[in-house]
Amino acid sequence: MKKLALLLLFGLSSQAAEQTFFAFDDVNIAWQHNLKLTLVEATKHPGNPVLRAGPEGSPDHGHAILYGTVMKQGDTFRMWYLGMHETAIKAGQAPGWWRPMCYAESKDGVHWTKPDLGLVDFNGNKNNNICLIEGEVFSMTRVNDFLSVLHEPDDPDPAKRYKCAYIAHLPFDEVKGGRSKIGPDEKRWGAMICATSADGLTWKVVGDQPANAGGERFEVSGLYRFGDFYYATGQLLSPWSWRADGSPIGRDMLAYRSPDFRHWSQAKAFAYARPGQLANPPTPGQQMHMGAGIWNRSNVLVGLHGMWQDAASPPPKGENWNFGVRVDLGLLISNDGVHFREPVPGFKIIPRGDAGQWDDIAILQGHAFVNEGDKTMIWYSHWDTGGKLKGMNIGLATLRRDGFGYLSPQFAENDAHFITHTFTAKNVALNVDGVTRETPLSVQLLDHLDRPIEGYEAKVTQSGLHETIPWPKPLPKEVPSPCD
């Protein structure tokens, strides 16, 4: 099949199971001939930042950052993010600051409102957008860092259809269940807290101890369900984490799992480290930051991770400890919910801004992906590593729908093709560009032994985001159907 100037943006799915095969998925599209992968940098919205920190006296006056989640339900975009308010130091709070779980809504994903929820007393009234978190231990109800929200509308218990995980820094004497002796003695302990809710606004902490009680500290940053388990991913670094041979490592991503959202494994899986972190010797200053912002696409996970690079020199006297750190966002994918990889190591799918722009220092990922019309919308935020809270707001970037990357011929004058992993589907659609009647995309149905199934050949001649393959007859039942 001849493909001359073909650019293929591939999102193969069945309407029933909603499986998606991305061009950069070298497990589902392992077998390739004369093809190359091109990843696409997202386009930042010209009106960025789209959600800004509030005025003095508001719960997000310190910053508004998407250590959080965006999802669309019905005709409304819903955002859970972290504010920051200077306050007296109390048990379970980061020193001098409280980072409340804040909530915003939008009809277009660009223009956001911060509704008065009437749930939490703040500055003498409840006219604010702070979500309520209730629990037996006060310090477990105070979010100090990363927040992940999961919606499961089919949960048989309506009170648990929203689930979240976040970081709280607890005093050791409030951590029931003990803790690991790994690492130094600290005054506060990085605790993974889980909570459930009926509406995503009023939450109840699960149990009376952190999910990682009895283990090491853990900076949780991700929550999703994949197969039979819930997974919580997050970051650690030495001495709490190490390379396979026991040598030190910078920030990497580890994963806990749970069958019921209440009982979590003490054992952790190594989920991801940047290639330079695992080299011998390691690449100086290369780390991954705060795990990954995850998008669960049913059969595959895609996400963004923080591409941390240490400052070139120690911070000047009086500056913040991470002054000069720079972070861009890269692309990750997982086919098993545990192990992640970069399709093209080092590719910046959302780079930090140029000097002087609002997002010029470091940027942060969230669990914030929505397919809307012909676009994939991705929200992210800025981090001022100098500690001045400069420009710490939330922005938006977009791609062609599911257009993280595409396959095209390495040598244009030669044929090119791929064979997918075996799957079962009621129908198949392609996200494809660059095809015409003169330069069609040829499709052949194969059985599980790569043998063509007679009568199932077709040509796709029209570009589009969801072009149904024009099979000459209905797909056969009970036949695995790789697509060549």
pLDDT, tens digit, for every residue of 215-255?
888 999 999 999 999 999 999 999 999 999 999 999 999 99
Q: What is the DSSP letter of 130?
A: B
DSSP states of 376-415 as a string? EEEEEEEE-TTSS-TT--EEEEEEETT-SEEEEESSTTS-
Task: Identify residue 62 by its one-letter amino acid code.
Answer: G
* The pLDDT of residue 87 is above 60: no
In this predicted structure, what is the pLDDT of residue 3? 37
80 close to 64: Cβ distance less than 8 angstroms:
no
What's the confidence (pLDDT) of residue 477?
72
Handedness of CA 440, 446, 451, 452 (dihedral sign): negative
pLDDT at 174: 75
> What is the per-residue pLDDT for 10?
61
Segment 4-62, tens digit of pLDDT: 334 555 666 554 458 899 999 999 999 999 999 999 999 999 999 999 999 999 999 99
pLDDT tens digits, one per residue of 259-311: 999 999 999 999 999 999 999 999 999 999 999 999 999 999 999 999 999 99
Render pLDDT for 426-448 as a digit per residue (tens, 0 to 9): 888 999 999 999 989 999 999 99
- pLDDT per position as a tens digit, 376-410: 999 999 999 998 889 999 999 999 999 999 999 99
Q: Output the pTM of the full model.
A: 0.94
Residues 136-189: tens digit of each pLDDT: 988 899 888 999 999 999 999 999 999 999 999 888 777 766 667 677 777 778
| Residue-level pLDDT at 189 | 83
DSSP strands (E only) in 96-251? 97-98, 101-106, 112-113, 132-134, 145-151, 162-171, 188-197, 202-205, 219-226, 229-236
Alpha-helix residue ranges (DSSP H) falling in 203-257: none
Q: What is the pLDDT of residue 428?
A: 87
- List beta partners, residue 51: 394
The band of 92, judged by pLDDT with boundaries at 50, 70 and 90, is very low
- Rounded to whole angstroms, how far apart are CA atoms 263 and 257? 9
pLDDT at position 170: 84
For the chain, state the CA radius of gyration.
Answer: 23
457-484 residue pLDDT tens? 999 999 999 999 999 988 877 654 445 4
- Residue 293's DSSP bridge partners are 304
Cis previous bond, 314, omega within 30: no
Q: Which residues pair with 68 in a beta bridge?
A: none
Tallying the residues shown for the chain, one arrives at 484
| 79: β partners | 70, 104
* Sign of torsion over alpha carbons 190, 194, 197, 203: negative
Domain 43-402 indexed as CATH 3.30.910.20? no
| pLDDT for position 377 | 98
Within the chain, which residue ranges are assigned CATH 2.115.10.20? 43-402
pLDDT of residue 425: 81
The reported pLDDT for the residue numbered 97 is 61
* Average pLDDT across the chain, whole number: 91
User: CB neighbours (10 Å) of residue 475?
Assistant: 17
Confidence (pLDDT) at 431: 93
What pLDDT was estimated at residue 351?
98
